[in-house]
Amino acid sequence: MHRRVRPGRRPRTRRLVAAVAALTAVAVGASCTPGSPTQGSETPRQPRSAVSTDPSKAGKVTLTVWDQEVRGSQNVAMTNLNNEFMKKYPNITIKRVAKSFTDLKTTLKLALSDDNPPDVVQANQGYPDMGTFVDAGMLQRLDPYANAYGWRKRYSKTLLDLNSFTPNGKQFGQGYLYGISQTGEIVGVYYNKKKLAALGLAQPKTWGEFTKQLATIKSKGELPIMFGNKDAFPAIHTYGMIQNRTNPQQEIVDTVFTRPGKKWDTTGNENAAATMQDWVEKGYFSEGANGLGYDQAAADFANGKGVFLMTGTWLYADLAKTMKKDLGFMPPPPVKAGGVPYATGGQGLSWSITSRSEHSDVAGAYLDFITSPHAADVVTKAGGLPAIAPESAKPEAGTALAQIFTEWTRLNDANGLVPYLDYTTPNFYDTLSVQLQRLIGEKATPQQCIGEMQKDYGDFQAHK
Q: What is the pLDDT of residues 250-260, one digit of tens each?
A: 999 899 888 88
pLDDT at 341: 80
Q: Is the pLDDT of residue 330 over 50?
A: yes
How distant, in Å, are the alpha carbons of 96, 126, 288, 422 from that of 64? Answer: 6, 24, 39, 27
Q: Is the pLDDT of residue 300 over 90?
A: yes
Longest Cα separation, the chain = 67
Q: Any bridge partners for residue 33, and if so which?
A: none
- How much is the pTM? 0.81
pLDDT at 48: 52
**Separation of alpha carbons 75 and 158, rounded Å:** 28
pLDDT at 340: 81
Cα 268 → chain centroid: 23
Report whether 188 contacts 332 (CB < 8 A): yes
- Give CB contacts under 8 A, 24+ apart, made by 247-253: 247/272, 249/22, 249/342, 249/416, 249/418, 250/22, 252/418, 252/419, 253/22, 253/23, 253/25, 253/26, 253/418, 253/419
**pLDDT band for position 173 (50/70/90)?**
confident
pLDDT at 353: 97
Mean pLDDT score, 450-459: 97
**Separation of alpha carbons 416 and 21, rounded Å:** 10
DSSP H or E segment with residue 271 = helix 267-281
DSSP H or E segment with residue 94 = strand 92-98
What sign does the dihedral 123-126-130-133 (CA atoms) show?
negative
Report whether 21 contacts 167 (CB < 8 A): no
Q: What integer best gives the mean pLDDT of the chain?
A: 88
**Separation of alpha carbons 354 and 31, rounded Å:** 25
How distant, in Å, are the alpha carbons of 62, 224, 301, 349 from that of 362? Answer: 10, 49, 41, 20
Mean pLDDT score, 55-77: 94
Cβ neighbours of 338 (radius 10 Å): 8
SS3 state at 364: helix
pLDDT at 8: 31
SS3 state at 270: helix
Q: Is the pLDDT of residue 38 over 80?
A: no
Q: Tell me the DSSP string of 394-450.
A: -PPTTSHHHHHHHHHHHHHHTT-EE--GGGSSTTHHHHHHHHHHHHHTTSS-HHHHH
**pLDDT band for position 409 (50/70/90)?**
confident
* Buried residues in 318-334 as b, exposed as e (16+ CB within 10 A): bbbeebeebbbbbbbbb
Mean pLDDT score, 45-74: 87
**pLDDT band for position 36 (50/70/90)?**
very low
More confident residue, 338 or 441: 441
**81 Cβ partners below 8 Å, 6+ apart?**
369, 370, 375, 378
